[in-house]
């Protein structure tokens, strides 16, 4: 295998496997890049790290639904990311969506990559026999340019 072919194989490997478990939408050097975290309640937690050495970007979500009371969630992420081969991206928006099997839905968007919110949850929590709940957070990035760092 020649040097050019080996380079193409390494490049393809980085594109396909260099992202870890991070969902990606768009194409190489495409218009958007999404990081999505999700968990089932009543206590929510998920995290991931985006990027390659030397640029790592940690993302974390956590929260809890409390029966008939004020519940909360928080998310933390990066406002700017550089992903090898794909390029550089700036945060377009972050969002949090809470749903449950009884049809309850709460959706909020944020202009900051780190956010915290309280909300009223009008059901028993999952552990007390209430409907099953899911919290999903998304950090949506728009492409700035480049094909590397």
pTM of the model as a whole: 0.78
At 44-72, the pLDDT tens digits run 999 999 988 788 999 999 999 999 999 99
Tokens representing 35? Answer: 């990081």
At 33-43, the pLDDT tens digits run 999 999 999 99
- Rounded distance between C-alpha atoms, residue 132 and residue 125, angstroms: 8
At 84-140, the pLDDT tens digits run 778 899 999 999 999 999 999 999 999 999 999 999 999 999 999 999 999 999 999
* CA dist list (Å): 141 to 41, 53, 82, 135, 148: 27, 20, 11, 20, 16
More confident residue, 27 or 1: 1
Instruction: Provide the residue ranges of all domains of the chain, joining segments of one domain with +.
Output: 62-148
pLDDT band of 8, cuts 50, 70, 90: very low
Over 60: is that where the pLDDT of 2 sits? no
* CA dist list (Å): 132 to 31, 61, 103, 148: 35, 18, 10, 42
pLDDT at 92: 97
pLDDT at 7: 41
- Rounded distance between C-alpha atoms, residue 17 and residue 27, angstroms: 14
Element (H, E) at 71: strand 69-76
Over 70: is that where the pLDDT of 19 sits? no
Query: Is the CB of residue 94 less than 8 Å from the CB of residue 139?
Result: yes
């Amino acid at each position: 295998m020649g040097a050019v072919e080996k380079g193409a194989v390494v490049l393809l490997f980085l594109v396909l496997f260099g992202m870890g478990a991070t969902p990606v939408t768009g194409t190489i050097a495409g218009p958007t890049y999404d990081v999505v975290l999700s968990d089932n309640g009543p206590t929510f937690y998920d995290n991931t790290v985006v990027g390659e050495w030397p640029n790592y970007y940690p993302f974390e979500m956590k929260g809890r639904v409390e029966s008939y009371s004020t519940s909360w969630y928080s998310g933390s992420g990066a406002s700017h990311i550089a992903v090898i081969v794909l390029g550089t991206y700036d945060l377009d928006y972050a969002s949090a969506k809470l749903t449950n099997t009884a049809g309850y839905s709460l959706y909020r968007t944020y202009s900051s990559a780190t956010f915290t919110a309280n909300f009223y949850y009008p059901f028993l929590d999952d552990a007390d026999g209430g409907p099953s709940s899911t919290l999903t957070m998304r950090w949506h990035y728009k492409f700035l340019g480049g094909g590397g760092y």
